[in-house]
Amino acid sequence: MNTISRIGAFIISVYQYVLGVLALFMDILYWIFIGPFKGKTARRENIFYQMVFVGLRSALIVFFVTFFTGIVLAMQSAYQLERMGATLYVASLVAVSLCRELGPVLTALVIAGRVGSAIAAELGTMKVSEQIEALELMAINPVRFLAVPRFFALFIMQPCLTVLGNISGIIGGLIVGVGSLGINKDLYIQTTFKYLELKDIYTGVVKSFVFAMIIALIGCYEGLNTKGGAEGVGKATTNSVVISFILIILADCVLTTIFYFSEM
């Protein structure tokens, strides 16, 4: 009985969470698409500031993560391909798996950890120190003022960072291929692009748009619904990372399935 009621409570709380996030999403869409016609929208300087924070300041860490992943990926696949005497194909394997899968997902995980958590912590602190209440009392909608610029910035910058991730991963692979596997540099580059199709790149980019929305929505939702002082802020921050991670992997699975069966 206890377990059943606990499962029931869990299902209800998940259901309410989903409803809450969807309501926030609707609100954000309203302020992006309908707000401007009513003379109220996010301020450009806010969006710009967030884009710098999300994009520029995250570029280095995205570079590092994907660069080393490219190196590892090249070595691991070389280990397999060498036996078949097909070392050259390291190039295309690295490129395709990065663009389709690892680039978008790794970038999203890095950004969820770095930006999503920061959003939750910042908005959560604002919530518990009555700053959100102060905004409401000044008749400034917190979703428009705080959530929209962050959502927008992530939506624009996530795909850019993903492409950066793809490129740095491929460079990592190239260094292994040329440096340690002794493949000719031009040949490596040629092979990279020979098997890399446009759809490999854009399916990855499509994923990154979805991941951006997940990170922004969860970060903002957790932040705006923080309760109970510093401890609550800590909880919101942790939750934002954990839930974003789970949703990113889930969404990746769903999208990959869709792309697979629609032969993209």
Partner 1 sequence: MSENNKEKEVIISVKNVSKSFQGRKIIDNVSLDIYSSETFVIMGCSGSGKSTLLRLMTGVIQPDEGSVIIKGKDITEISDKALDEVRRSFGMLFQYSALLDSLTVEENVSLPLKEHTKLAEDIIRIIVKMKLSLVGLRGYEAYYPSQISGGMRKRVGLARAIAMDPAIVFYDEPTSGLDPVVGGVIDKLIKDLSAKLLITSVVVTHDMQSVFNIADRVAMIHKGKVIATGETDQIKNTTNPYVQQFINGKPNGPIDLFKEDIGIKEALDL
Where on the chain is the footprint of partner 1 (CB under 8 A)? 43, 122, 125-126, 129-131, 133-141
Residues 131, 155, 246, CA angle at the centre, nearest 5°?
85
Give 109's contacts (C-beta < 8 A, 6+ positions apart): 245, 248
Contact 207, 104 (CB under 8 A): yes
How far from the centroid of its chain's Cα atoms is residue 226's Cα? 22
With contact defined as beta carbons under 8 Å apart, do 103 and 162 qualify? yes
* Nearest to partner 1 of 114, 199 (CB atom): 114
64/255 Cα distance (integer angstroms): 26
Instruction: Round to whole Å and give the CA distance between 28 and 174.
Output: 42
With contact defined as beta carbons under 8 Å apart, do 87 and 183 qualify?
yes
